[in-house]
Amino acid sequence: MNKITAAITAVGSYVPDFVLSNQVLETLVDTNDEWITSRTGIKERRLLKEEGQGTSFMAIKAAQNLLEKANLDPKEIDLVIMATATPDLPVASTGVYVATQIGATNAFAYDLQAACSSFLYGMSTAAAYIASGRYKKVLLIGADKMSSIIDYTDRATCIIFGDGAGAVLFEPNTEGLGLQDEILKSDGIGREFLKIESGGSILPPNEDTVKNKQHFVYQDGKTVFKYAVSGMADVSEQIMQRNNLSQDDVNWLVAHQANRRIIDATANRMGVDESKVLINIQKYGNTTSATLPLVLADFEHKFKKGDNIIFAAFGGGFTWGSIYLKWAY
């Protein structure tokens, strides 16, 4: 029997309607369109404004979009993995709620949190379940409502992040397509540079933490940038070398959309042509767990069966890594 590999067989996505442009941000904080565009590549981002709705709202929509496109009965799904850094509630898994809401009544579900690398790590987890032969249909969703943890008076963070969701289906493949290799890394040195101080077990929320805005994201952007550039470029170059991939063999780079300059540095190190570097950061900003599937959804029409795709991500923690996958349809 041929070896089982884990292939992506369907993609879905959802972004909220509300657009927050650089021009509007200029009225909120001391910034300007020229600075944001040249330093990050971002022009606008989407925000979920619906009262009382959390990350699950977008995750459900992205999953439903996938189910519809793939004409898939949700009862066939074995497992739902919800990659998110902004769960609906601190306790009570968002993935469980999403699975029930989309009608995946035969699946079990859970959340996976690795900051901006949540989706990349989720790909590894989903693929391992498939390659082991244990499950046949694993739905991986990446969704984040970053606007729920961002201080819109802090120009160091509010210009970067946005809300969104994407989903992919992993299924067994016996033609050698799907996930080929992965390099996943983490280093706790990152904890102090990108974090939310309060709301966890070290510092439960109280009046003072709220007054001090410790329930919002804090980022030392310069330091994170430095680590992200070298981290993402290193693993992407390594995975090419390890799999004997030349720059011509790589068809696409699907990188975490945190900063255009970080993506360009990674592409440069890999030596891949600009035309292979997939970018949608200008439309959505950094949607954390949703960046990779949103890129897949936006550029799905360009992919051909057998295309070699390098995924790369870097996020808080620090967490980072690269995955080499052959497109299956």
Nearer to ligand UT7, 150 or 169 (CB): 150
Catalytic pick from 256, 259, 280, 308?
256
Catalytic pick from 65, 116, 173, 259?
116
- Please name the residue that has the structure tokens 């898994």: 93
Establish if 162 lies at the interface with ligand UT7 (CB under 6 A). Answer: no
DSSP 161: B
* Min CB(305)–ligand UT7 separation in Å: 31
* Min CB(228)–ligand UT7 separation in Å: 4
Selected binder of ligand UT7 within 63, 67, 165, 258 (CB under 6 A)? 258
Establish if 280 lies at the interface with ligand UT7 (CB under 6 A). Answer: no
Give catalytic status of residue 301 as yes or no: no
Give catalytic status of residue 158 as yes or no: no
Establish if 113 lies at the interface with ligand UT7 (CB under 6 A). Answer: no
Establish if 218 lies at the interface with ligand UT7 (CB under 6 A). Answer: no
Give catalytic status of residue 215 as yes or no: no
Of 33-41, 50-58, 64-72, 233-241, which segment contacts ligand UT7 by CB under 6 A?
33-41
Amino acid identity at 117: S
161 preceded by cis ω (within 30°)? no
Largest CA distance in the chain: 62
178-186 sheet: strands from edge to edge: 178-186, 319-326, 308-315, 252-255
Q: Give the integer Cα–Cα distance in Å for 58 and 41.
A: 24
DSSP string, 180-228: EEEEEEE-GGGGGTEE--SSSSSS---HHHHHTTTTS-EE-HHHHHHHH
Establish if 315 lies at the interface with ligand UT7 (CB under 6 A). Answer: yes
Q: Give the integer Cα–Cα distance in Å for 231 and 2.
A: 35
Site residues for ligand UT7 per CB under 6 A: 31, 35, 39-40, 116, 155-156, 159-160, 221-222, 224-225, 228, 258-259, 262, 286, 314-316
As annotated, the active-site residues are: 116, 256, 286
